[in-house]
Amino acid sequence: MQKKHVLFILLLFLQNHSSLKASEQSEKQSLQSCLPSLFTGEELEFFSNIFLETQILLHSDKTGLEEDDSHSFETECDSSFSEEDEDLTRRKESEDEDEEKKYKSDYILTIESNNKFEVDTGPRTKKQKTKNKKEKEKEKEKEKEKRPKQENQEKSVLGLPNLGNTCYLNSVLNMIATSKLNQIMNPNTQLDKENHNDVTKVLSTRSLLNSLLSGMINKIEKKHEERTQRVFKALNENLSENLEGSLNVQHDPAEFYSHLISFISKGDNKNYDLEVAEQIFNEKTGEKTFYKNYMKMLPVPLTESKSLQKNFDHYFSEEIIESGEGKNKVRKRKESAIVNSPEVIVLQLGRFTGLWGETKSAKKVKIPLILKVKSFRKSKTEIDKSKHSNIDYHLKTAIVHEGESIHSGHYVAYQFIKNKKNVTIIRYNDRKVEQVSSSELPNIFENAYLVSYER
């Protein structure tokens, strides 16, 4: 907008106010006297017409205007223009736009994206422009973080239909499919021939599981329901004896996972079992007891700490065991350590307490994206702490329990996909698979029961 147009609008404003101070009346007269020098003949005639029409409108019957509030100033003026005036107006607007690009006004009016007007005094500097640009970019990034991103949706797997209280089973199979645990179906995986009367059943079940997992990973919808039912039937025939006679009853997913892995692989499979060495030292006699455990999952007690890493480390802290009294009092030190580095580590959080797991703890436990694990050198007689390796394990899956007791409620699985800048979270609720935002984290931190990490 040019200065002469601003002056005209200001004059129009002053004219519209009947009660003006003496100084304002003087300013009005000064503006009127300078108009001829600012405008050309055609321009002066054009703006005089607008001025006249405005006066007619402003001093017309007020009652009529109040009755029709929608009767605007611009509408009245537009109806009085002739075609010649309209052509002149269009030519002037075009010229004004060209001149306005070259002209640097002392007042810059900007319209922000939220439709609010903001007036900046003085011309913009390069520094201000850069600052505003950075602020807008930050706002865009915040908006993106609020919305779940879809670029990693293709890395998810197919969900599984609920065949009757099978959410626990579905969540475990989701955990296997979305981590290196799916490699346990590899033909090279060892079988425990001594503990299985019929190896054919094991091979058949592994074949069916491999087919189902492959279809889930490659998202093959065709006959997906049929493959799921075949696997369920095979598992029900081979595992139900250890699980109250039927898989159609709500079960502990940790218990089901342990039976499943034991059935389809050798008990001490070094790639998938955690090897934990333990030694107990009797301070009175000097006697030392050493042994190893092969664990499908590591039970992690929930301490006062809200950090899963600290709770994990607490499991391997030295424990003092005292028994007897007086002269018969015996004091022992118990130490534990990991002495291998499996591909996958599954943690079982101590959510359920009581004799039958009837009480659940909703304690908030922050789950890190990377779990720091110390693996010590193997020894046949003791824990050798002279040398160890620090290994980073990356978060893959969390099985969450939604409910009050281990015997009721619902289980869902969350998959974590690491990107360059952020983490994509996929939620598996039986057959329903969806990408969710970080707003799901409180639910995960308060209800996570099984958590898997891989190298």
25-69 residue pLDDT tens: 555 555 555 555 555 566 656 655 555 555 544 444 444 433 344
Does residue 118 fall inside a structural domain? Answer: no
Per-residue pLDDT at 175 exceeds 90: yes
- Containing 403, the helix (H) or strand (E) segment is none
Q: Which residues pair with 319 in a beta bridge?
A: 334
Mean pLDDT of 342-370: 88
Answer yes or no: do 382 and 244 share one domain.
yes
Answer yes or no: do 84 and 181 share one domain.
no
Side chain identity at residue 188, one-letter code: N
Does residue 258 fall inside a structural domain? Answer: yes
**In this structure, what are the phi and psi dihedrals at residue 352, rounded to the nearest 5 degrees?**
-110, 130
Answer yes or no: do 91 and 188 share one domain.
no
- Domain total of the chain: 2
- Residue 44 Rama label (left phi>0; alpha psi -120 to 50; beta): alpha
Per-residue pLDDT at 104 exceeds 50: no
Answer yes or no: do 218 and 344 share one domain.
yes
**In this structure, what are the phi and psi dihedrals at residue 445, rounded to the nearest 5 degrees?**
-65, -30
- Which of 33, 68, 103 is a domain's end point? 103
Predicted local confidence at residue 431, as pLDDT: 95
Structural domain boundaries enclosing 346: 153-454
The count of other CB atoms within 10 Å of the CB of residue 31 is: 17
Answer yes or no: do 345 and 210 share one domain.
yes
Predicted local confidence at residue 209, as pLDDT: 94
Does residue 132 fall inside a structural domain? Answer: no
Answer yes or no: do 188 and 255 share one domain.
yes
Predicted local confidence at residue 88, as pLDDT: 59
Answer yes or no: do 333 and 422 share one domain.
yes
Predicted local confidence at residue 235, as pLDDT: 95
3-state class (DSSP) for residue 208: helix
Q: Which residues pair with 453 in a beta bridge?
A: 345, 395
Q: Which of 122-131, 233-242, 290-299 has the lowest mean pLDDT?
A: 122-131
Does residue 384 fall inside a structural domain? Answer: yes
Mean pLDDT of 182-194: 70
Does residue 47 fall inside a structural domain? Answer: yes
Q: Which residues pair with 323 in a beta bridge?
A: 330
Predicted local confidence at residue 379, as pLDDT: 80
Residue written as token pair 């003087």: 26
Predicted local confidence at residue 136, as pLDDT: 73
**Which among 1-10, 139-148, 397-406 has the top mean pLDDT?**
397-406
> CB–CB of 240/259 below 8 Å?
no
Answer yes or no: do 50 and 183 share one domain.
no
Answer yes or no: do 218 and 307 share one domain.
yes
Cα-based distances in Å from 56 to 28, 69, 73, 77, 78: 19, 17, 11, 11, 14
Each as own residue / partner, the long-range contacts of residues 188-194 (CB below 8 Å, 24 or more positions apart, any chain) are 189/264, 189/265, 189/266, 189/269, 189/271, 190/265, 190/266, 190/269, 191/265, 191/266, 192/262, 192/265, 192/266, 192/267
Per-residue pLDDT at 109 exceeds 50: no
**pLDDT confidence tier of residue 415, bands split at 50, 70 and 90:** very high
The model's pTM: 0.65
* CB-neighbour burial class of residue 159 (10 A; exposed 0-12, middle 13-18, buried 19+): buried
Q: Which of 53-57, 244-248, 340-344 has the lowest mean pLDDT?
A: 53-57
Predicted local confidence at residue 393, as pLDDT: 96
Mean pLDDT of 250-267: 86
**pLDDT confidence tier of residue 229, bands split at 50, 70 and 90:** very high
Predicted local confidence at residue 148, as pLDDT: 46
Angle, helices 224-239 vs 253-264, to 10°: value is 90
**pLDDT confidence tier of residue 23, bands split at 50, 70 and 90:** low
Per-residue pLDDT at 96 exceeds 80: no
Q: Which of 30-44, 266-280, 400-414 has the lowest mean pLDDT?
A: 30-44
- Which of 36, 69, 103 is a domain's end point? 103
Predicted local confidence at residue 346, as pLDDT: 96
Does residue 147 fall inside a structural domain? Answer: no
How far apart are alpha carbons 139 and 131 in whole angstroms? 12
Predicted local confidence at residue 380, as pLDDT: 81
3-state class (DSSP) for residue 45: helix
How far apart are alpha carbons 291 and 270 in whole angstroms? 16
* H runs (alpha helix) in 218-307: 224-239, 253-264
The count of other CB atoms within 10 Å of the CB of residue 400 is: 23
Predicted local confidence at residue 76, as pLDDT: 37
Higher pLDDT, 405 or 248: 248
Per-residue pLDDT at 201 exceeds 50: yes
Per-residue pLDDT at 268 exceeds 80: no
Residue 280, domain CATH: 3.90.70.10
Answer yes or no: do 75 and 185 share one domain.
no
Does residue 292 fall inside a structural domain? Answer: yes
Answer yes or no: do 97 and 189 share one domain.
no
Does residue 109 fall inside a structural domain? Answer: no
- According to DSSP, the β-strands at 432-436 and 288-295 are unpaired
> CB–CB of 425/369 below 8 Å?
no
Q: Tell me the average pLDDT of the chain.
A: 76
Answer yes or no: do 342 and 202 share one domain.
yes
**pLDDT confidence tier of residue 425, bands split at 50, 70 and 90:** very high
> CB–CB of 168/253 below 8 Å?
yes
Q: Which of 53-62, 133-142, 432-441 has the lowest mean pLDDT?
A: 53-62
The rounded percent of the chain whose pLDDT value lies above 90 is 36
Residues 6+ away with beta carbon under 8 Å from 448: 349, 351, 365, 367, 398, 399, 400
Residues 6+ away with beta carbon under 8 Å from 10: 31
In degrees, to the nearest 5, what angle opens at C-alpha 265 toward C-alphas 341 and 368? 40
Mean pLDDT of 377-390: 84
